[in-house]
Chains A and B, each alone.
Chain A
């Protein structure tokens, strides 16, 4: 007892020291060290992103250098021109297709509608159909059987058919035009009964019924007549012939050149790894267990070619073809120009889609001319020995418009389509979210009753808690179909990007991201509103302004930068969001032209590809580089918002 009291007596306690620190100091430094966890984590994140992405640019430069040395670049100059021209010719056939469909009218889609109806019906009467098929299997052996058995079989078939017919009729009555997946089909409402009947017949017969065949035949005749006689279609057909004529020669030429380039590239790639592989073979030969194995590996190693390929010699056929290439390109351009001049006048067309595409052709042709001039120039001055500089590789990453991976031709890592996808969706989201979130914050903070506040605030917190993958699922299964269905509405056609052409689009992702951004913006905006000194409001009210006037003209302007910071933070949060953009945006890697296009995103590409690439490869480096861009973007957004908030706090 006495010992214990002595020990606890602070006056008597001898402070034990450890590295010159007493117990209290150690505890303090322990806690301080833990506080450093955030710093360490941030530094480590930076370090890992940088270290993995560090060798990307030199490696990418090497890859692109080989792309040039092997002559692939030269072939792509030709290919780009061909692709641009083919785009024009495919637009022409689209013009023709749209116009034809318009002129034929409602019946044009009859067959497609019938097929859809039959498919829907067959699904509903699956079992009756199976029974009927099984009953009919015996038909084949009927001739070997007696009279009585034959009758029996006939009866059973008849019974099965009857039950199928009954079931089909009932089921068909429930099918509507709106059940069809493909919403672009046009139909006449009064023909519903006809299609139901046709579907029933089709299901029972197992082939297209006569009534549908007749319509189809009528459509075909009308089509032939239109194509053969109407001047618009004659003109279009002639123009198409002209534009397509020189394509084959150019395509063959490119295919031939491609072979040379691929051969050269394979040798270049082999050379790059030859020395290393030879060394590893030697090493393996040394440690081989059996004599036989040792000998085999040694022979393999001796056979390795370690000499650098002679690119000048390998590229000789490409240099020789320069004149031919130029001549073919001229043919192509001349044909395109002639063909475009042969097109009918827009006033001759009736279909809106056809008119739009005709306009696109006119616009596209100017681009084609430009591409031909640029690429032709580059092709004629192409030289495989030209050094590919580091800055070109850097520009190629940050401003490249192609993200192509696992290609047998050449991989390109251009971040622009991903960047635009990420920002496009986030922008749609912010535009949708800001009015609601800020409006909501104003209402809850200034206008609502305390009871409402107590309900709305937790609910918005709940929205924040909804996991992003759940929202993504909602987008895939429900929202996509909803937007697609109502996006077809002609009343919305004036908005650019409408009618929507698919379920998984940037718009779909944007709507979901908006829902995710709302809680962040709402909470921060409400905070900002809260921080406005009470005297402002009192002064305004004392001057006779109404409550709303006070809010809109006094309070909102005074906390405007706070609201901006809230929006920036919300934006930062959704730019970094992964699951929604991965699942809902459609995953098409191309530069989106409108906000209803499918696209891919920086976060999405990381989630999709990083699990499948080899550690340390060029692709791996590219993905970490994307990660670094993402990290930088969100940090700067965050920093900007925080700076604004800090200024605001100081200002007060």
Chain B
């Protein structure tokens, strides 16, 4: 009835043509409004980012893309004349400030370009050299790429040191002996002996229950007394807090007077049955050395420095690790500054150096004035350079400086990282996805298997990206199998595969905390000992498939992304296969080709453009994702690009390259937009990286649209 009524109503409306027309127009207007509001919103988002980001990108130019992210220093500097800075740093300093409104009024003046001369010593380091750890570090810092292996560490190697003034040093007998043996430049050793009385107590603790306070506990904790505390003392407890404790059996101990005073015969201490005083005489010896250069065995110097922390030794040795005997096949050519080389030779008597020659190099520099006090922005590197190059300029002062993390420099690291993640992801996803699509479209027949595959794909497409992140964390980071000769000690499950040719070098053993399993030792027991003594991995001459996970790295991130994008890739590849007409296959089969031959020659080549479109679509998807890579591969800070600073070469180097964590552009944006304090100084980095990212992703999207249109119009059967 009602519908009839409505219809009659609409007919009656039709009579009043004008009003119906108006209503139609109004309704249509509403729909138009809906549609264009969506476009407007997108326009506003894009417009805002372009409006704020484009001037920044324009001002910073190419430098923003090709430099690495650093922290940003905001400095207030004084007016000064004759400042020096290398050309490169000077240009980067300019580009760091270029987006600012007051940039044009930056008071730089009297720019003058010149070539700055710097001299350095080039020398050859001979095989069999022995170097102390500190000086090896110096050599490696000055010579990029120099990272020698070493044969052994030598505690007894002679090392040199300088005493800057006459000093009296406490020595023990052993040190004294070593000093007597060494060359002291004709000095007579003047040994002074001092004797000291040391008191201690012999105390008998009876079995029983006591109530002790915190002071007692702290005093006796390091002693050998066995007592069982029936409670606990926290750091913030007051000293008078009491806890019950019991002594399981009577014990006799020797304690120092301070320990006795703190813990025995007082309120909150132990009541003891016997206490006896003991007195012992101790002797110490001291020698006086004139200022000058001396040589001592490494371990003796270590004890000497340990016993005399206040004496004025001058050296760069580090005492945690002994000097190393380098494993060099032939002489290596290295450079150091003149002073550094002299010190190296003086303090490392066993180093073998030949063919020293001085070389001069010229770097383009700029000399400039700052005319008045001003505020300068500089990335960390430029700030350090500005300070280092102008230490002698007394007029130049920095009044204040603030650091904003991740806000300086450019975004090279994140772009490169995202690139690699995408490449790994697409290699994995395409190799699985295309094969799966071929199966689904060419081989599969209706049945349970096909149904299950379709169902799984459909559901996989609906899984939230953060769940893929969890999955990647669980599988790739913690469990995935790894082909290695140095499996982790924590890992319980591993399959031995092949014997290994050469064992890891000493240097690698140290840096990776590798435990070398001896041939005769019982393996299980020695491994449990190793894991208790701080080793992380072990080596026993076999390659293993070890289920220890890949750690947070590029490979884990790429695989996680690949799993995520798989449904998209499979579906769109399938579509492009389906678009190849049936006749192609039939013709091929009729000519006597096998199924695979016809797929390979008559189907895949024609589906290739479609697959290309699919992969671009996939790239668009994965490049923008943050959640799956957050805990599988991305890091906020990393000073090296992925291919820099690799310790290995060849296949091992490739594996190492893949098992690094990387910076990624979306994660970088997350960091600068959400995890650091916001200020006007962090905004350029935010807008700049967001705009670059948006342009990258949208141009990929545009490419995929363009390709699709092109493929459709070109390939018509």
Contacts and interface: CB of A to CB of B under 8 A. Distances in A.
A and B: interacting chains: yes
Interface of A: 10, 23-24, 27-28, 30-32, 34-39, 41-42, 44-45, 48-49, 51-52, 126-127, 130-131, 263, 266-267, 270, 283-284, 286-287, 289, 295, 299, 302-305, 307, 435-440, 442-444, 447-448, 456, 458-463, 465-474, 476-478, 515, 518, 522, 544-549, 552, 569, 572-573, 575-579, 582-583, 603, 606-607, 610-611, 615, 623-624, 627, 630-631, 634-635, 637-639, 642
A548 B30 CA distance: 12
Nearest to A266: B232
11 contacts: A34-B433, A39-B452, A263-B231, A304-B228, A456-B35, A462-B42, A463-B42, A468-B624, A472-B673, A610-B470, A630-B467
Contacts of B374: 127
- Which A-B residue pairs are the 3 nearest by beta carbons? A576-B464, A439-B34, A467-B624
A552 B674 CA distance: 45
A631 B436 CA distance: 25
A346 B324 CA distance: 85
B464 A603 contact: yes
B48 interface: yes
Interface in B592-637: 592, 594-596, 620, 623-627, 630-631
B116 interface: no
B229 interface: yes
Nearest to B42: A463
B373 to A, nearest CB: 7
B697 A37 contact: no
Contact of B466 (A23, A289, A627): A627
Nearest to B457: A38
A31 B439 contact: yes
Contact of A468 (B438, B468, B592, B626): B626
A187 B438 CA distance: 71
Given A266-B232, A630-B464, A27 B224 contact: no
A289 B533 contact: yes
Given A610-B470, A631-B467, A437 B42 contact: no
A287 B627 contact: no
A35 B24 contact: no
Contacts of B14: 544
Given A31-B443, A38-B460, A615-B478, A583 B670 contact: yes
Given A130-B373, A131-B373, A572-B462, A10 B592 contact: yes
Interface string B5-49: 000001100100000100010011011111101110110011011
B356 interface: no
A303 B229 contact: yes
B466 A603 contact: yes
A126 B30 CA distance: 52
Interface of B: 10-11, 14, 20, 24, 27-28, 30-35, 37-39, 41-42, 45-46, 48-49, 76, 224, 226-232, 234, 373-375, 399, 432-433, 435-436, 438-440, 442-444, 449, 452-453, 456-471, 473-475, 478, 528-529, 532-533, 563, 566-567, 570, 592, 594-596, 620, 623-627, 630-631, 666, 669-670, 673-674, 683, 686, 690, 693-694, 697-698, 700-702, 705
Contact of B470 (A263, A469, A549, A606): A606
Contacts of A307: 230
Given A287-B533, A469-B666, A576-B464, A603 B38 contact: no
A385 to B, nearest CB: 21
B464 A575 contact: yes
Given A49-B470, A472-B673, A578-B627, 19 more contacts: A32-B449, A35-B436, A35-B440, A37-B566, A38-B457, A41-B566, A461-B701, A462-B42, A465-B700, A470-B624, A477-B683, A515-B45, A522-B38, A546-B20, A548-B24, A573-B462, A576-B467, A582-B674, A583-B673
Contacts of A603: 464, 466, 627
A639 B440 contact: no
Given A470-B49, A575-B464, A635-B459, A460 B470 contact: no
A230 B464 CA distance: 59
A305 B453 contact: no
Given A473-B686, A603-B466, A634-B464, A305 B594 contact: no
A642 B462 CA distance: 11
Given A578-B466, A579-B627, A611-B630, A470 B690 contact: yes
A27 B529 CA distance: 49
